[in-house]
Amino acid sequence: MGAMLTAIQAICFDLDNTLWDSAVVIGRAEQRLQAWLETHYPRLPQAFSTEAMRLDRLALMQAEPTRAHDLSYIRRECLARHAVQVGYTPAVAAAAFEVFLAARNELQLFVDVQPALAELGQRFRLASLTNGNADLARVGIRDWFAVSLTAADVGAAKPHAQAFEATLRALDLRAAEVVYVGDDPHLDVAGARAAGLRTVWMNRNAAPWPDELEPADITVADCRELARLLTAT
């Protein structure tokens, strides 16, 4: 680990389930959206349940693979199509999506995140790369990061190398100088390793590592442990 620490200049973080609980955040946002639709455009929730909408988004991702990485587009487009199917204007989608997005960015960080990133930020440049559509400016933590990118920004989703390479370009660093921290063994760890980055698996739930994958360089249970390891020298 010593040689790894010597080379590292930046730490890039996944967001969902790494810095906050995505299931809680998305679940609340879906409920907020459904309640808003019931009040303002009731034919939509009468015709399409939250699960039906989710399945239609998955189908659209299959039908439009070149846009599948852009989750905001996928959600807006499905909302527009659903609106038309029940006799509303497709313009409904913009307002509905904003309701969802506002709730999606009302989140609570895991308790270990803020103090750990404050400590890490004194020694390393911090970045974020996510497949999701969280807006760190709206969350209130954009200033923590030198670089903050989404799959929609770079035109590709993890584990595609293009996503990691875009982050390296934005940081103006070599792959060996950046460590990527994420909770998903395939999307985050395997994807980052394939692009040449060092890797940290954020295993908050003591999950087993997939047998078919090479382990991460480091495994931690939370950001406190990450800060302790990376600032040890």
Of the residues 104, 135, 159, the one at which a domain ends: 104
**Same domain membership, residue 29 and residue 14:** no
**Same domain membership, residue 220 and residue 121:** yes
pLDDT of residue 76: 98
**Same domain membership, residue 33 and residue 95:** yes
**Same domain membership, residue 76 and residue 40:** yes
Give the domain CATH number at 179.
3.40.50.1000
- Of all residues in the chain, the percent with pLDDT exceeding 90 is 96
pLDDT of residue 191: 98
For tokens 């960080």, what's the residue? 109
Phi-psi domain of 30 (left: phi exceeds 0; alpha: psi -120 through 50; beta: other):
alpha
CA atoms of 41 and 47, how far apart (whole Å): 11
- Hey, what amino acid is at 230? L
In the predicted model, is pLDDT for residue 2 greater than 80? no
**Same domain membership, residue 37 and residue 99:** yes
pLDDT of residue 5: 63
232: confidence class by pLDDT, cuts 50, 70, 90: confident
Of the residues 87, 104, 121, the one at which a domain ends: 104
pLDDT of residue 66: 95
What is the mean pLDDT of the segment spanning 22-50?
Answer: 97
CA atoms of 71 and 211, how far apart (whole Å): 30
Sign, Cα dihedral of 139, 140, 145, 148: positive
Q: What's the pLDDT tens digit per position in 178-197? A: 999 999 999 999 999 999 99
**Same domain membership, residue 156 and residue 49:** no
What is the mean pLDDT of the segment spanning 157-177?
Answer: 98
**Same domain membership, residue 145 and residue 41:** no
**Same domain membership, residue 203 and residue 145:** yes
CA atoms of 218 and 197, how far apart (whole Å): 12
Q: What's the pLDDT tens digit per position in 55-109? A: 999 999 999 999 999 999 999 999 999 999 999 999 999 999 999 999 999 999 9
**Same domain membership, residue 97 and residue 31:** yes
Range of the domain at 100: 23-104
In the predicted model, is pLDDT for residue 233 greater than 70? no
Domains contained in the chain, number: 2
The candidate with the shortest Cα–Cα distance to 3, out of 219, 221, 218, 228, is: 218
- Nearest-10 crossing angle of helices 22-40, 92-104: 150
In the predicted model, is pLDDT for residue 3 greater than 70? no
**Same domain membership, residue 182 and residue 133:** yes
Give the domain CATH number at 66.
1.20.120.1600
Q: What's the pLDDT tens digit per position in 108-118? A: 999 999 999 99
Of the residues 60, 88, 104, the one at which a domain ends: 104
Q: What's the pLDDT tens digit per position in 197-231? A: 999 999 999 999 999 999 999 999 999 999 999 99
pLDDT of residue 1: 53
The candidate with the shortest Cα–Cα distance to 12, out of 128, 120, 123, 118, is: 128
**Same domain membership, residue 10 and residue 86:** no
**Same domain membership, residue 98 and residue 118:** no
